[in-house]
């Protein structure tokens, strides 16, 4: 039985190095090895306190970058990106369907995720739907900013309560077509175009063969 892939974890500027197998949560792994990180949100990935500067290296070398330890798993980067892209892309499409529209009017990227991504790259990999760049805004720590605004202005707090009452929660994973849409969305646009081109070529070949038989 082949040995599972091993990944080297490098934390800067301390020069700490660890070796781990795939699938472990980075925050939990570091805690087990004596490195405790602050996490005011309880590991939900919204407070941004557990940001670490480091890299996870597998078969190829990766430059250090800032990541949220609580929401970072140790495994193949490309596979993780595909899964995240597929889930988010499917979520956007299904919510638009529930709202009765084909595309969202606006997308707000909040939290540490929204603060550390290049919006153009999200369009390139097909994570965001084909809307204009101006309709996508990075709002940073939206939860913290909103809490401060509500504390300073009671009217904003009341407005937020009214808005919360109008929100409808949708359990996407329980929808009958979620799995199908997710499997379609998991591929990158270039992969999809290649698959479509191959399918078209195969169809043309079948047509030529059928014509030759006649």
Looking at the structure, tell me whether residues 84 and 146 fall in a common domain: yes
Task: Report the percentage of the chain scoring pLDDT > 70.
Answer: 70
Report the DSSP beta bridge partners of residue 8.
19, 57
Looking at the structure, tell me whether residues 33 and 68 fall in a common domain: yes
The DSSP output letter for 73 is B
182 falls within a domain: no
Say how far apart CA 69 and CA 25 lie, in whole Å: 7
Final residue of a domain: which of 27, 58, 75? 75
- The predicted model gives 80-93 an average pLDDT of 85
> Cα 41 vs. chain centroid, distance in angstroms?
19
- pLDDT at 135 exceeding the cut of 90: yes
**Confidence at 202, pLDDT banded by 50, 70, 90:** low
Each residue of 29-81: pLDDT tens digit? 888 888 888 777 777 666 677 777 655 554 344 445 566 777 676 665 666 77
Say how far apart CA 74 and CA 80 lie, in whole Å: 9
Looking at the structure, tell me whether residues 163 and 96 fall in a common domain: yes
Looking at the structure, tell me whether residues 59 and 22 fall in a common domain: yes
202 falls within a domain: no
176 falls within a domain: no
**Among 105, 121, 101, CA closest to 113:** 121
pLDDT of residue 116: 77
Instruction: Read off the CATH number of the domain in which 52 is found.
Output: 3.10.20.30
106 falls within a domain: yes
- pLDDT at 14 exceeding the cut of 90: no
38 falls within a domain: yes
Final residue of a domain: which of 46, 75, 104? 75
Looking at the structure, tell me whether residues 68 and 106 fall in a common domain: no
Looking at the structure, tell me whether residues 22 and 95 fall in a common domain: no
Domain that holds residue 132: 78-171
**Among 57, 69, 74, 59, CA closest to 23:** 74
Looking at the structure, tell me whether residues 82 and 137 fall in a common domain: yes
Higher pLDDT, 44 or 189: 189
Q: What is the pTM of this model?
A: 0.54
Looking at the structure, tell me whether residues 96 and 107 fall in a common domain: yes
67 falls within a domain: yes
Cβ–Cβ contacts within 10 Å for residue 68, how many? 24
17 falls within a domain: yes
pLDDT of residue 2: 41
Number of domains in the chain: 2
Task: Report the percentage of the chain scoring pLDDT > 90.
Answer: 14
């Amino acid at each position: 039985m082949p040995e599972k892939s091993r990944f080297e974890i490098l934390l800067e500027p301390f020069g700490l190095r660890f070796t781990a197998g795939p699938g472990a949560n980075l925050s939990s792994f570091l805690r087990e090895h004596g490195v405790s990180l602050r996490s005011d949100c309880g590991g939900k990935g919204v407070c941004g306190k557990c940001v670490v500067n480091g890299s996870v290296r597998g078969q190829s070398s990766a430059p250090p970058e800032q990541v949220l330890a609580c929401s970072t798993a140790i495994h193949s980067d490309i596979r993780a990106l595909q899964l995240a892209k597929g889930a988010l892309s499917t979520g956007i499409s299904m919510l638009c369907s529930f709202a009765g529209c084909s595309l969202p009017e606006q997308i707000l990227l909040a939290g540490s995720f929204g603060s550390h991504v290049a919006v153009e790259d999200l369009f390139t990999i097909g994570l965001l739907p084909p809307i204009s760049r101006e309709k996508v805004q990075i709002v940073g720590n939206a939860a913290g900013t909103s809490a401060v605004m509500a504390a300073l202005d009671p009217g904003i707090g009341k407005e937020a309560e009214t808005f919360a009452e109008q929100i409808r929660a949708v359990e996407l994973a329980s929808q009958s077509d979620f799995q199908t849409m997710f499997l379609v969305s998991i591929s990158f646009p270039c992969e999809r175009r290649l698959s479509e081109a191959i399918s078209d070529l195969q169809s043309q070949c079948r047509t030529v063969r059928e014509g030759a038989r006649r």
